[in-house]
Structure 1
């Protein structure tokens, strides 16, 4: 097997469970704005909150998410600084398992590791600090910081230049076919599709590999590397 020199990762929905974080933020919003809510109604409110969040995914200003939610479910108390609320609480809604941290440590012992994430500097750095990821990566690249974003091949080229690794010696792991598979492939990397839910690929994008668990990445450590 080829001996790779770098493994690069997407952040949201790959290393971090963004869906669970949205659930956690919803609970904070309920406590702040609604008080006690009957369980059946709470389930419907969560479904709609996640629907509004999905529509705004990738958009920095999240005011429309909560304003739309307020319009459908009038609150007892209305936030006056919605964006500040989101920026402060959402990064704290993420958590990471010790198992994942141990896996990253194992990989880092044998090759360079980096994160490439689209998003704002403030929000993405807060997530990374809250989960201690900065200790486990040689480089973290945030799109707003470098004025490039996935799937633009230049953001992958920029990262590899910083790591001093050739594209053919690197892997990229992420959940989005367009941004995390086609994007890195366009820069000469191997694109690995992280697909834990087993979603059907109905696109014309062909991943170099598909995994349902990050543990499967140990396959890319050669026998020499894991001894």
Structure 2
């Protein structure tokens, strides 16, 4: 019986690719007096390349940008601070996010979230999406001192939710950090399809979050039929 659904954040609930595009477009406009010697297209393209879909922290990204584009009117620290304070204003959810969470809550599921990243930054983004009230548990790697795919962070979530691995599913976009990490502790791993990866060995694959309640219903039906 599935009692808990635990989610990743970036690329799963938060459409990070689109959020980054909107943020960097508006950062350029905000700071055009300092960085206007670069074309917007070049600035956006290079940021997205260096960001590597969030796997490179922005101190490195902005240091590289300032050096490459010979920025003298603004420091990388100022650009980083702008990112930290402004990114939350550009958070775009995936379609059907709230509907899906509300349906799971109506079905009495416990909901958790495990996200790698910096604590306050990730919490600001979660608050911006307006989803914190649906979650019984949120673990952010910086605050926990461990990160996915370390089994400890998955086990900590299960322990705090008071459920077993076999009673839980994990939904994420990263084949190793999310799907395999969850499977290794005995959870069902659901892959939120992402164009970056080819075939992923997941228990289930979803294109859209709206599919998730049906998967849980199917699993629970299988469970009840086997007992």
TM range (shorter): 0.7 to 0.9
Q: Which residue of 2 aligns with 1:207?
A: 202
Q: Which of 43, 59, 72 is the equivalent residue of 2:68?
A: 72
Q: Which structure carries more helix by proportion?
A: 2
Superposed CA RMSD in Å reads: 2.7
CA distance in 1, matches of 2:30, 2:94: 27
> Gapped runs of 5+ residues in structure 2?
221-227
Shift of 1:163: 0.6
Contact (CA 8 Å) 2:193, 2:206: kept in 1 or not? Answer: yes
Q: Which residue of 2 aligns with 1:101?
A: 98
Shift of 1:81: 2.4
Shift of 1:174: 0.3
Per-residue CA distance 1:99-156 (angstroms, 9 max, x = gap): 3112111112221111100111110111111111111111111111111110011111
Contact (CA 8 Å) 1:120, 1:144: kept in 2 or not? Answer: yes
**TM-score computed with the length of structure 2 as normaliser:** 0.85
CA distance in 1, matches of 2:60, 2:49: 12
Contact (CA 8 Å) 1:197, 1:212: kept in 2 or not? Answer: no
Q: Which of 161, 184, 190 is the equivalent residue of 1:163?
A: 161
Shift of 1:197: 3.3
Q: How many residues align?
A: 218
Contact (CA 8 Å) 2:14, 2:94: kept in 1 or not? Answer: no
Q: Which of 136, 142, 146 is the equivalent residue of 2:140?
A: 142
Per-residue CA distance 1:11-62 (angstroms, 9 max, x = gap): 0011001111211221232123325979xx433332211001118x3344x2
**TM-score computed with the length of structure 1 as normaliser:** 0.85
Shift of 1:97: 6.1
CA distance in 1, matches of 2:161, 2:91: 27
Q: Which residue of 2 aligns with 1:7?
A: 5
Q: Which residue of 2 aligns with 1:189?
A: 187
CA distance in 1, matches of 2:36, 2:70: 12
Shift of 1:199: 3.8
Q: Which residue of 1 aligns with 2:217?
A: 222
Shift of 1:73: 3.2
CA gap 1:174/1:126 in 2 versus in 1, 3 angstroms? same
Shift of 1:180: 0.5
